[in-house]
Chain A
């Protein structure tokens, strides 16, 4: 016997739309795949950095697009248009400052995310590809910082880029080509600005979107590594789904980061120096804070001269990155507990201490120069 549907089973307009889309794209399957991912050992605050990075990138894209409505990427208008954004556009100063502090937050979160993966031993088999793509993403984030720094076209931007490109020039074989390609002339000028702008707003975002998609895909294919301690029974007992606990932690993390960036933008807004000129005057060129350790390293006498500069600026960081890339293939021990991997633990502490030490030394050196 056929039953007539009661009023309670009738679909609302929204449900009808969802059913329509679901029928065509399998919305419910996607939703189930996205939210019902098991998290071995349960949700943790340590896992929030990946989601936070994605959130920061989206916010950087939004603020970057809004800034592009006013920014003019030409040598004679870049500085003036940036000043216009800061002084004339409604909330322009806040957008620019958010974008600036967002880039810093992105670097901090990349370091935190990479440290978490390294300490958790989450780069080990079967997650080698996730680690490799993550390293490429790290390079892209650094590239964003380097190319974005030039765009305001003030003295700080101009001279940091000049130093950066000169360092790049020291690379054997491709260094000269890379430096000439980025500069587009004898000294940084219109061509440099145009190329940095294109790299910053076209090439790097496209590369980041593609690689971030691949990173997430590989992560979902291999599944989360879970905690490095505990018996399989304990981990199984604590295993939870991605929704709702991990999502809740991710959202809290995102809100915290959002308001922290807002606070920094509010209390420490971007203030430009004088317009870029080929004469540094009293200004001591300096890169962004996350490159300061490398900058200070190059001040050491052992890294003086052509070869020394190449060694300090390209060979050492290059070798370090190569070591990181080869890490999952060198370290094949399945042990993930960081307290049972003394070399990895000591290595991480030494690298972090070196970065901190050279960064602080650069700040002290700055005071000495001033």
Chain B
């Protein structure tokens, strides 16, 4: 039987990567829906997500106890929840492969589920300890290396050298502690796998038959259905992507900001026609009134002319008052 570290590494490394393509697809979808934000601690969030078979229960504990800000957006919790069935499947496939090929043992029914549960529990207990220990080692080594360069003897060290040496000192110390702690955690997971292996019966069949067995675990029962479903999901996602993608940049440069355009009032043809009709009727009434007034004035003028022509012909050059406008 291989050592617990080897067993743990064999299962954990492959499990993390087996589920990864599916998990990363869901993660991108969540980001597109705005449930998760692309934030500065994306590297840490990525590692936690990649190692979700171990961190799934540890994540909420860490968020409560040690580090409240592990990722932005409400989708993080949902993302880790959706990971669970994927991780159970991935743990099952990888562990069964290990049992059949390397250990030549018959994997028990529900091996994936039981191993995932135990691994996640080990992670929930161990990850906060790892977090605290590595955090303490990092903080201490940073302050020590800073303090070292505050001494008179090393104050004259140029900036680039100072940064490089400081980084090497605290980075080296913190990485060593991290590796030691991770090996410890992996060995704990390895012990869980070993205990499951000890109760397993030897597998029957030659090596080729065992390889065929684990190989077929990775082949979907209905390949046509799987291919059709994948293509359809791809098509829907592509359409959603292109329909949601802004045509012009969401981050305009200072030099190229587009002027704000005020929206024109909504055009209502019936209202406009009615309004125009009223306006025309009003104008027509005005024109009619003017014409009527003009005619009356003309008539009055003619009457006056007739009277004046008879009485005073010399007043004919007197100025005529303009008619009052309506």
- Mark A residues whose CB is within 8 Å of B: 42, 45, 83, 86-88, 90-94, 233-234, 237-238, 240, 245, 252-253, 255-256, 259-260, 262-263, 266-269, 271-272, 296, 299-301, 357-358, 360-361, 364-365, 368
Contacts and interface: CB of A to CB of B under 8 A. Distances in A.
A238 B253 contact: no
B164 A88 contact: no
B307 to A, nearest CB: 79
A358 B38 contact: no
A86 B250 contact: no
A332 B5 CA distance: 32
B245 A86 contact: no
A269 B21 contact: no
Given A358-B164, A361-B167, A259 B245 contact: no
Contacts of A86: 249, 253, 256
15 contacts: A87-B252, A90-B248, A91-B247, A252-B21, A255-B234, A256-B24, A262-B28, A263-B32, A263-B38, A268-B38, A300-B161, A301-B158, A358-B164, A361-B164, A361-B167
B215 interface: yes
A62 B204 CA distance: 53
B247 A365 contact: no
Contacts of B164: 296, 300, 357-358, 361
Nearest to A304: B158
A367 to B, nearest CB: 10
A87 B249 contact: yes
Nearest to B207: A237
Given A256-B24, A364-B167, A237 B159 contact: no
B235 interface: no
Contact of B241 (A253, A262, A268, A272): A262
Interface in B242-268: 245, 247-253, 255-256, 258
Given A267-B31, A365-B159, A357 B171 contact: yes
A68 B90 CA distance: 44
Contacts of A90: 247-248
A361 B245 contact: no
Interface string B94-126: 000000000000000000000000000000000
Interface string B20-35: 0100110010011000
- Give the 7 A-B CB pairs with smallest separation, nearest first: A93-B249, A299-B160, A267-B38, A87-B256, A237-B208, A361-B163, A252-B21
A251 B17 CA distance: 15
Contacts of B250: 93, 269
A151 to B, nearest CB: 16
B252 A234 contact: no
A267 B234 CA distance: 21
B168 interface: yes
Nearest to A367: B163
Contacts of B218: 245
Given A263-B28, A301-B158, A365-B163, A83 B256 contact: yes
Contacts of B249: 86-87, 92-93, 269
B66 interface: no
Interface string B80-102: 00000000000000000000000
B281 interface: no
Given A267-B38, A296-B160, A88 B168 contact: no
B129 interface: no
B67 to A, nearest CB: 21
B211 interface: yes
A272 to B, nearest CB: 6
Output the residue of B161, B163, B247, B248 with the most chain A CB within 10 A.
B163
Contacts of A263: 28, 31-32, 38
Interface in B35-94: 38
A263 B253 CA distance: 20
A271 B38 CA distance: 17
Nearest to B241: A262
A300 B160 CA distance: 6
B249 to A, nearest CB: 4
A356 B71 CA distance: 24
Interface string B140-170: 0000000000000000001111011001100
A266 B245 contact: yes
A46 B193 CA distance: 25
B253 A271 contact: yes
B167 A260 contact: no
Contacts of A240: 215
A31 B159 CA distance: 59
A301 B251 CA distance: 40
Contacts of A267: 31, 38
A45 B24 CA distance: 15
A15 B11 CA distance: 46
Contact of B255 (A83, A357, A358, A361): A83
A243 B177 CA distance: 44
Contacts of B245: 91, 94, 266
Given A267-B38, A301-B160, 18 more contacts: A87-B248, A237-B211, A238-B215, A255-B25, A256-B21, A256-B24, A256-B25, A259-B28, A262-B28, A263-B32, A269-B249, A269-B250, A272-B253, A300-B164, A357-B171, A360-B171, A361-B160, A365-B159
Contacts of B211: 237-238
A217 to B, nearest CB: 30
A301 B157 CA distance: 10
Contacts of B160: 296, 299-301, 361, 365
A260 B253 contact: no
Contacts of A260: 24, 28
Nearest to A79: B255
Contacts of A266: 32, 245
A314 B235 CA distance: 49
A255 to B, nearest CB: 8
A256 B28 CA distance: 10
Nearest to A85: B249
Nearest to A265: B245
